[in-house]
Every structure is written in C-alpha cells, then in structure tokens.
C-alpha cells in the first residue's frame, strides 16, 4: 500500500466490513464520518481477540492481567506517536466530553473568583459547557472568541484583549465538526502561552483528517476520541507531563497518584483500548518512514490529499446547484472534508431521510452540538444543517451517487 502513489481505495474499502452492508437493496454509503467513522477490521479483530483470550483487571500475577497491561501500554505508545507526545502523557476515559468535565473540575481547583477562561463560538459544546459549569461554580469570568458567521472562521482581531494575564485557560477546537473550518490554534496558543494560560484543544473532529503535532500546535491538553478515527468508543486525553504532574483529579483514595493513571478513574474499557493501536496502524499504513510516527505524518498527507480532492468535487458541484446553500469558509481557509449545507424549501431532516431511504446514503442533520454556530448562522430554527463528512474509505463513485441524488432532490423542490 505504502509504495503506490495512487490512493488504494479498493484495498482500503476491503478493510471495513461495514461497507458490505446494504439497505433496501443498495450498498450503504457512509457519509457520516464526523459523527463516528466505521471501524477498520484489524481493530474489530483485536477487540474480539482480547475478549476471547480472557480479559482481566490490572496488577494481577496472572498472564491475562499482564497481557491487559501490555495492550494498554501499546495503545498509549501508538497515541504518543500519533501526536508527538510521550507514553506517560496519555490517559483514557469514557469519551472526550466526560474527560473534559473531569479535567475542568481538576484544573480549576486552584482558580479563584474573578479569574478568566476563554471559549469559542465555533466549538462543539463539549469544549464549552464543562468550562461554563466551572465558571458558574467558581465565579469565573467567561470571555468568548467570536466567530464570523459569514466567513465561518474565528475572529482573532481582539485576541490580545480577550486573552490576558487574568486568563487561566483557553479552550479551542482544532477543527469545527459543523462546518469543517480548521482554526488558527497556533496563533491562539502563542498568545495564551505568553499570558501564562493553559491551552485546551479539542481535536475530536480533526484527528482522522491530518497530522497533529501537539507541541507545534502549542496544546497543553489535547483531547480526542478513537471512534472518530476508525476505532472503538474510547476517549483520549494527551496532557503535557509537567502540567499533568500538577493536576489533582477527583479520584478514589487508593487509586494511583502518578500520571497518567491518576486521571483514569475506575476500570477502563480494556477491550476498546485493544482496538486503538490497530486503528492508528491503519493510518500509518498509508505512509513511509522508519518509525510509526514518521509513517503517520506521511500517511496523513496521503489521506488529506485524497479526502480533499473528493471534498472539492462535492463543493464545486454543489456550488453550481441553485437551491443549495453551502456553509463553508472561503477556499483559502484550510478545512476538513466536512461539508454543511441547506436545500432551499426542504428541511435537513427530510433531506437526510430521503438520502437514506431512497439511496442508502447516510448523511446527518442537526446542529451537531455546535449550537452557538448554529444560532449565529441562523440554521437552528430550520433544523440545522445537512452534513456530509468524508473518510478515506469513501470513493469517487459514492460521491457521484450522492451528487446525483442531490440533483434529484433539488429538482423536486419548488423555488421559494
């Protein structure tokens, strides 16, 4: 796979058993990657194998316990390679939202009334509401980085007055799960660092689409979820060790005091964790290099190029359709292959029902928890957006079928 320049789409598709599914006699087309990708076979096999071989809890003197510890260690190594971090900086949890609630409580133990935190208008609420809840509990001041509702990018013109010496933490998403905009996190983190504030990056939507180097980004804490990148439902926190050492999570008294275990409350999802390394190795399989970290970087550039080509085809074709309103940042703005739109005269839920029932095309509708952006763009009262989200297992043929179905649906609606 790694030696061919052409994207090996057929070989990729064979690795995803869910692509064999049909609905009403048609092959299913999964365009709902941002809600959760399909799972690569090697990950599924690894989960099944873990459970079939005999699972166990940690710290036992028997082989299944030792194997469980090894599985967790290799998953952490793979995640460390994914983000340019180290193994002791990686902790697991239920999902990004739950980890963020836990971390917001832990981090804020030293904050005082009047301290400030910064959130954004473009983010998924999972990186907003845990911070608002703590702000309410402690009397913190919440400052917002505004979004330009037309341009669909963060407005950083008053960054210096929003992030100041009073700021304790800046919570920002790397990419918008609603409209795909990739935010200028480096610029934000430079300012935050200069002011002594922590940078908390939600990389849930971004992780499957491009290489993320935690230190280049300037992220102190970076969160993601394996179910968005071809693996199981496991939440992941990557925390800079010097900061992690100082965090006091709410934990049981006898549980470990050391990093990263101290954040992992209760027994983890061992079988899910067994599925993480194969998902990361699937991405690395597209790349070249002596180490997995190198293969991940070059693998992602192939994925990005392939997905962007498909996404551009969709954006360009949709741009010619009169009854489609696209919600996309300007072409110069870097984006994930996530395309939000409305069809004039037909609600998002109806578009999605039609796509699923008539064509077996699974696209999602709603605000996708990016509710502030949904309010500001005015789509919430109309049922949000329709969102097409691509993954490396999507093909040109699927894109063509989707565009054809869209032409069909727009030709049925009356012009308003």
Contacts with ligand PLP by CB under 6 A lie at 34, 95-97, 124, 126, 173, 177, 202, 204-205, 225, 235
Shortest Cβ 193–ligand PLP spacing (Å):
23
Residue in 279, 283, 278 with CA at minimum distance from that of residue 211: 283
Contacts of 53 (CB under 8 A, 6+ apart): 64, 67
Tokens read off for 273: 């964790």
Instruction: Specify the residue, 324 or 388, whose C-beta has the smaller distance to ligand PLP.
Output: 388
Instruction: Specify the residue, 15 or 177, whose C-beta has the smaller distance to ligand PLP.
Output: 177
Shortest Cβ 6–ligand PLP spacing (Å):
30
- Counting every residue written for the chain, the total comes to 416
Shortest Cβ 142–ligand PLP spacing (Å):
18
Shortest Cβ 387–ligand PLP spacing (Å):
11
Instruction: Specify the residue, 124 or 323, whose C-beta has the smaller distance to ligand PLP.
Output: 124
Instruction: Specify the residue, 97 or 394, whose C-beta has the smaller distance to ligand PLP.
Output: 97
In angstroms, the CA 313 to CA 396 distance is 9
Q: Which residues pair with 361 in a beta bridge?
A: 29
Q: Which residues pair with 200 in a beta bridge?
A: 171, 221
Largest alpha-carbon pair distance within the chain?
Answer: 71
Report H helices in 230-331. 241-246, 270-274, 276-284, 292-319
Instruction: Specify the residue, 42 or 181, whose C-beta has the smaller distance to ligand PLP.
Output: 181
Shortest Cβ 209–ligand PLP spacing (Å):
12
Instruction: Specify the residue, 235 or 383, whose C-beta has the smaller distance to ligand PLP.
Output: 235
DSSP 355: H
Q: How far is CA 72 from CA 78, 126, 151, in A?
A: 10, 25, 42
Shortest Cβ 169–ligand PLP spacing (Å):
16
Instruction: Specify the residue, 203 or 343, whose C-beta has the smaller distance to ligand PLP.
Output: 203
Shortest Cβ 372–ligand PLP spacing (Å):
13
Lookup result for tokens 């998953």: 75
Shortest Cβ 177–ligand PLP spacing (Å):
3
Instruction: Specify the residue, 8 or 93, whose C-beta has the smaller distance to ligand PLP.
Output: 93
Instruction: Specify the residue, 235 or 260, whose C-beta has the smaller distance to ligand PLP.
Output: 235
Count CB atoms within 10 A of the CB of residue 6: 7
Task: Note whether 392 and 307 are within 8 A (CB).
Answer: yes
- E strands, 227-376, where? 235-239, 324-327, 338-343, 361-362, 364-366
Residue in 85, 82, 20 with CA at minimum distance from that of residue 231: 82
Task: Note whether 128 and 375 are within 8 A (CB).
Answer: no
Instruction: Specify the residue, 204 or 222, whose C-beta has the smaller distance to ligand PLP.
Output: 204
In angstroms, the CA 231 to CA 224 distance is 12
Shortest Cβ 384–ligand PLP spacing (Å):
14
Buried b / exposed e over 266-277, threshold 16 CB at 10 Å, is eebbbbbbbbbb
Shortest Cβ 97–ligand PLP spacing (Å):
3
Task: Note whether 406 and 359 are within 8 A (CB).
Answer: no
Q: Is 333 helix (H, G, I), strand (E, B) or coil?
A: coil
């Amino acid at each position: 796979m790694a030696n061919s320049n052409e994207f090996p789409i057929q070989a990729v598709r064979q690795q995803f058993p869910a692509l064999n599914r049909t609905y009403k006699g048609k092959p299913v087309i999964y365009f709902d990657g941002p809600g959760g990708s399909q799972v690569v076979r090697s990950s599924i096999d690894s989960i099944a194998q873990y459970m079939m071989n005999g699972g166990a809890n940690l710290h036992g003197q028997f082989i299944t316990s030792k194997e469980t510890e090894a599985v967790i260690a290799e998953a952490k190594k793979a995640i460390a390679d994914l983000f340019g971090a180290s193994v002791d900086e990686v902790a697991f949890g239920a999902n990004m939202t739950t980890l963020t609630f836990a971390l917001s409580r832990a981090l804020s133990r030293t904050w005082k009334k009047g301290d400030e935190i910064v959130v954004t208008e473009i983010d998924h609420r999972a990186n907003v509401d845990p911070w608002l809840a703590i702000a309410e509990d402690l009397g913190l001041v919440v400052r917002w980085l505004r979004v330009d509702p037309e341009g669909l990018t963060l407005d950083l013109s008053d960054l210096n007055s929003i992030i100041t010496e009073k700021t304790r933490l800046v919570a920002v998403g790397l990419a918008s799960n609603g409209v795909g905009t990739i935010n200028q996190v480096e610029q934000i983190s430079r300012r935050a660092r200069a002011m002594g504030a922590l940078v908390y990056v939600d990389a849930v939507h971004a992780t499957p689409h491009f290489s993320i180097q935690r230190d280049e980004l300037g992220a102190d804490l970076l969160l993601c979820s394996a179910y968005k990148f071809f693996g199981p439902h496991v939440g992941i926190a990557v925390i800079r060790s010097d900061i992690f050492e100082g965090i006091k999570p709410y934990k049981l008294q006898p549980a470990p005091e050391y990093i990263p275990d101290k954040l992992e409350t209760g027994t983890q999802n061992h079988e899910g964790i067994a599925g993480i390394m194969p998902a990361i190795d699937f991405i690395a399989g597209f790349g070249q290099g002596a180490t997995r970290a190198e293969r991940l970087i070059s693998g992602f550039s192939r994925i990005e190029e392939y997905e962007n080509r498909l996404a551009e085809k969709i954006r360009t074709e949709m741009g010619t359709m009169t009854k489609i309103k696209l919600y996309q940042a300007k072409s110069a703005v870097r984006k994930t292959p996530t395309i939000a739109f409305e069809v004039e005269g037909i609600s998002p839920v109806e578009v999605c029902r039609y796509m699923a029932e008539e064509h077996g095309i699974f696209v999602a509708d709603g605000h996708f928890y990016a509710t502030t952006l949904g309010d500001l763009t005015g789509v919430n009262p109309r049922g949000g957006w329709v969102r097409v989200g691509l993954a490396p297992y999507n093909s040109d043929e699927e894109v063509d079928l989707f565009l054809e179905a869209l032409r069909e649906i727009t030709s049925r609606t009356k012009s308003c």
